[in-house]
Amino acid sequence: MKEMAEYINDIDVSKQAPVAEPNRQYYFIKKASEYVKAASKEAGRPLTFCVTTFGCQMNARDSEKLVGILEQIGYQEEVDEDKADFVIYNTCTVRENANMRVYGRLGQLKAAKKKNPHMMIGLCGCMMQEPHVVEKLKTSYHFVDIIFGTHNIYKFAELIATRFESRRMVIDIWKDTDKIVEDLPSERKFSFKSGVNIMFGCNNFCSYCIVPYVRGRERSRNPKDIIREIERLVADGVVEVMLLGQNVNSYGKNLEEPMSFAQLLQKIEKIEGLERIRFMTSHPKDLSDELIEVMKNSKKICRHLHLPVQSGSTEILKKMNRRYTKEQYLELVHKIREAVPDISLTTDIIVGFPGETEEDFLETMDVVKQVRYDSAFTFIYSKRTGTPAAVMDNQIPDDVVKHRFDRLLKEVQSISAEVCSVHENTMQSVLVESMNDHDERLVTGRMSNNLLVHFPGDASLIGKIVDVYLKECKGFYYIGEMKNIP
């Protein structure tokens, strides 16, 4: 990052902006930094920012890129949103409630902006890819400064510079893109682990899901760029990576030289100094035998697989356009467990999809009972305008859905408490992630299977992998004791 900073510092902004990326963005980082310097002189203090992230890991990773750019521009991070000069919401629209939270918080920001003449508000992420959202913002939320989407976050510095120059709302939304811009700044939230995008977008069009509309078509990053990024991260202290994509199992299909996800994993496995590899999300329809084999033989791939089932009813799965049956899913689970017996399985389930009958719901309950997930994210179906499911007949009444949801949650939780406790009195290798939130004598670490354990230790352990004896299961986490002192 230091080299990049020096390079940017030497740019002459009196010249024209270059056309090619990433150099064009380096130019605008320099330009925006001069505006920020001037504004900060006027204010008599450094200017600050606060990025709030909604939604999935994809957004979390995007936010790290936003933070990287903001810091290069000269803003300082402020964790308290009420005090920040630049508030950015990186939004999610996968379910309606994610959407409503953003409007609610925006209302509060209006008052804050009246009091602070330097304040700016930026909105980006998946919600901004929906035209009706941007229309609403234009008419009822004039006080927003910058609006951009998921395809052009790399242009953030350019948009900030434009905002300083125009003093008007800057809106830049692209419908889709085939572009992937490499080598931009990014600031990691954790020093020892990092998300790494391996692909963007989604081509699956599950009938309930808005993601393919707001994240565009599937495109894979070049393996060389991925490896280079991970090597750099490792050199910078990272021991665990989470490979990110909406459907990692279809990685590489659109590359000039096609490559499978399993092949990519094998290359990443060879990176020296990297200790742990995670990935998400796996679509059951594309999970290959080759991948199972690679997982079985890997020393670094974590013993955890997130395998969203969505529904246990073949009929509903068909309407969801998931392209597998209940039996195929169960067979896949069987194959994985046979190859990797200690694997922890987690899933996503939607309750109340249009047309879901009590029988369909019982099929879902049956899958839950058969698979016995370590944990499951359960969602109430949310109608997303523009998706095929939104106009399907037989939308299910709220009270019926709620009743099913409660039954499912109860089942999922009682199974997961049983499943989680089986590791009691074993030794596990644990990556220490943080001090414990509630007790300063304890640290919190993550096992390969994604479960958390709290045990006595201090801040010097953070980022280290240690052996921990699991003394007691407390439902969804453990209390343990460290056995070796690193």
Q: Which residues bind ligand SF4 (CB under 6 A)?
A: 202, 204-206, 209, 211-212, 246-247, 283
Binding flag, residue 126, ligand F3S (CB under 6 A): yes
Site for ligand F3S in 59-78 (CB under 6 A): 59
Pick the closest to residue 62 from 135, 109, 128 (CA basis): 128
**CB under 5 to 8 A by kind: which of ligand SF4, ligand F3S, ligand SAH, none does 379 bind?**
ligand SAH
- Residue (72 or 281) nearer to ligand SAH, CB: 281
Closest separation in Å from C-beta 56 to ligand F3S:
3
Binding flag, residue 92, ligand F3S (CB under 6 A): yes
- Residue (37 or 101) nearer to ligand SAH, CB: 101
- Residue (26 or 208) nearer to ligand SAH, CB: 208
User: Helices 23-43 & 57-73, crossing angle to 10 degrees?
Assistant: 60
User: Helices 398-420 & 358-371, crossing angle to 10 degrees?
Assistant: 10
- Residue (88 or 209) nearer to ligand SF4, CB: 209
Closest separation in Å from C-beta 209 to ligand SF4:
3
Closest separation in Å from C-beta 52 to ligand F3S:
13
Binding flag, residue 93, ligand F3S (CB under 6 A): yes
Contact string (CB under 6 A) for ligand F3S, positions 181-220, x = contact: ------------------------------x--xx-----
Closest separation in Å from C-beta 379 to ligand SAH:
4
- Residue (67 or 211) nearer to ligand SAH, CB: 211
Residue 61 and residue 67 in contact, taking contact as beta carbons nearer than 8 Å: no
**CB under 5 to 8 A by kind: which of ligand SAH, ligand SF4, ligand F3S, none does 212 bind?**
ligand SF4
**CB under 5 to 8 A by kind: which of ligand F3S, ligand SAH, ligand SF4, none does 55 bind?**
ligand F3S
**CB under 5 to 8 A by kind: which of ligand SAH, ligand SF4, ligand F3S, none does 205 bind?**
ligand SF4
Contact string (CB under 6 A) for ligand F3S, positions 213-242, x = contact: -xx---------------------------
**CB under 5 to 8 A by kind: which of ligand F3S, ligand SAH, ligand SF4, none does 381 bind?**
ligand SAH
**CB under 5 to 8 A by kind: which of ligand SF4, ligand SAH, ligand F3S, none does 264 bind?**
none
Q: Burial-class residue 312 by CB neighbours within 10 Å (0-12, 13-18, 19+).
A: buried
Closest separation in Å from C-beta 214 to ligand SAH:
11
Closest separation in Å from C-beta 207 to ligand SF4:
8
- Residue (212 or 355) nearer to ligand SF4, CB: 212
The 3-state secondary structure of the chain reads CHHHHHHHHCCCCCCCCCCCCCHHHHHHHHHHHHHHHHHHHHHCCCCEEEEEECCCHHHHHHHHHHHHHHHHHCCEECCCHHHCCEEEEEECCCCHHHHHHHHHHHHHHHHHHHHCCCCEEEEEEHHHHCHHHHHHHHHHCCCCCEEECCCCHHHHHHHHHHHHHHCCCEEECCCCCCCCCCCCCCCCCCCCEEEEECEECCCCCCCCCCHHHHHCCCEECCHHHHHHHHHHHHHCCCCEEEEECCCHHHCCCCCCCCCCHHHHHHHHHCCCCCCEEEEECCCHHHCCHHHHHHHHHCCCECCEEECCCECCCHHHHHHCCCCCCHHHHHHHHHHHHHHCCCCEEEEEEEECCCCCCHHHHHHHHHHHHHHCCCEEEEEECCCCCCCHHHHCCCCCCHHHHHHHHHHHHHHHHHHHHHHHHHHCCCEEEEEEEEECCCCCCEEEEEECCCCEEEEECCHHHCCCEEEEEEEEECCCEEEEEECCCC
**CB under 5 to 8 A by kind: which of ligand SF4, ligand SAH, ligand F3S, none does 39 bind?**
none
Binding flag, residue 283, ligand F3S (CB under 6 A): no
Closest separation in Å from C-beta 204 to ligand F3S:
13
Residue whose tokens read 């939780």: 413
Closest separation in Å from C-beta 206 to ligand SF4:
3
Tokens of 463: 């980022």
The residues binding ligand SAH (CB under 6 A) are 94-95, 208-209, 211, 246-247, 281, 283, 308, 310, 348, 350, 379, 381-382, 384
The size of the interface with ligand F3S (CB under 6 A), counted in residues, is 11
Q: Cα(338)–Cα(45) distance, rounded to whole angstroms?
A: 61
Catalog residues that contact ligand F3S under the rule CB under 6 A: 55-56, 58-59, 92-94, 126, 211, 214-215
